Copies of this chain bind each other. A is one copy, B any other.
Amino acid sequence: MPPPAALSASSSFTLLSPSPSPSPKLASFHSKHHSFHSATRFTRLRRARSLAPRCAVIEKETPETEKPDTFLRESSSPTSVRARFEKMIREAQDTVCEAIAAADGGGKFKEDVWSRPGGGGGISRVLQNGAVWEKAGVNVSVVYGVMPPEAYRAAKGAPTDHKPGPVPFFAAGISSVLHPKNPFAPTLHFNYRYFETDAPQDAPGAPRQWWFGGGTDLTPAYIFEEDVKHFHSVQKSACDKFDPTFYPRFKKWCDDYFYIKHRDERRGLGGIFFDDLNDYDQEMLLSFATECANSVVPAYVPIIEKRKDTPFTEDHKAWQQLRRGRYVEFNLVYDRGTTFGLKTGGRIESILVSLPLTARWEYDHKPEEGSEEWKLLDACINPKEWV
């Protein structure tokens, strides 16, 4: 899975910072040779790759003690889309963290701020082992980087014989995963991001590009239909304010994206997911992303309030843990943002905060047909219409 996919479709954004890594071409070149060679070649290979001329490059992040007003480079105008998107995601981070901390009662968010010398940075907030959530991470990041020209070309399918230089890009996003303790309280994930490329450095004529991506999805271990209906109808209302085709289209997209191929099942009960969105008015899409981010709390927190104290047995907990194992499988094997971030040296603790505090794998576990566990599994295998 090449960088562009991750850049455009991460479901855990903070990691999307290119760093020494081969362009797709180089990667396949190396991997082919690597394939029948000894693992001792890893190190030599990695050195070779990091010298590859067309690599994306970014500096390592440095911890900060203070939050800057903006992670944008000074050159950015405060009325630009990138400036207003950064403002939006940082406000969303505050709102969501306040709502989660309030609903949790016990836990507090630990904050880590980081920046990069050349511009960009991020704020990671994590609440761990709270009263309601065992792990809740809400991260924002602003990334400046340079992507291999293949990415840019692949994006718009330009003729591959044309060889532009590396493409500078800007990416900002908010990403969050919230894992509650109670097996009847669902996990939530959301991620909204905005992406811009400059023209390729040595092809000034080529167009600048921008797009939006993101989504919000629900992953319960047990189905309470009223909860799932509530969650999806809030997503639908947010979509319907902008385009009646959005919800059906992005609901399907979500079911397709969070697919665990080797299990032939989805991670959870979906929600909305979209990517590469640029064929609408830019202002309209900025408002849409804002509306989606603002819908997170009303879509999720009422469900938690209802389920956080439901009594449960060890069996309920074990099933939740098995589903958490599936969450780990999806994020480490398929999630484009995670896999790309791990390969290219994003901030590991920010990337892997999406993993649950604990997970479980039982050999050949099959829920009894007709049981509550089976019903959840069935809904993950055969996505349903909830509204």
Contact = CB atoms under 8 A, between A and B. Distances in A.
Nearest to A15: B262
Contact of A35 (B135, B154, B273, B362): B154
A146 B61 CA distance: 46
A121 to B, nearest CB: 17
Copies of this chain, complex-wide, total 2
Interface string A336-361: 00010111010011011101111111
A33 B154 contact: yes
Interface stretch (A82-90, A181-189, A235-243, A251-259): A251-259
A8 B24 contact: no
Given A28-B28, A35-B154, A150-B32, A112 B329 contact: no
Given A332-B329, A332-B332, A348 B262 contact: yes
Pick the 8 closest A-B CB pairs, nearest first.
A39-B257, A4-B35, A5-B35, A355-B361, A332-B332, A262-B342, A36-B155, A28-B28
Interface in A124-148: 126, 128, 135, 137
A41 to B, nearest CB: 8
A333 interface: yes
Given A5-B35, A154-B36, A355-B325, A364 B339 contact: no
A162 interface: no
Contacts of A262: 341-343, 345, 348, 351
Contacts of A137: 363
Contacts of A135: 361, 363
A199 to B, nearest CB: 17
B363 A349 contact: yes
A43 interface: yes
- Interface size classification for chain A: 35 or more
A40 interface: yes
B2 A32 contact: yes
Contacts of A112: 364
Interface in A274-330: 274-276, 321, 325, 328-329
Given A36-B154, A151-B35, A352 B361 contact: yes
B39 A9 contact: yes
A108 to B, nearest CB: 13
Contacts of A4: 35-36
Nearest to A249: B40
A42 interface: yes
Contacts of A263: 348
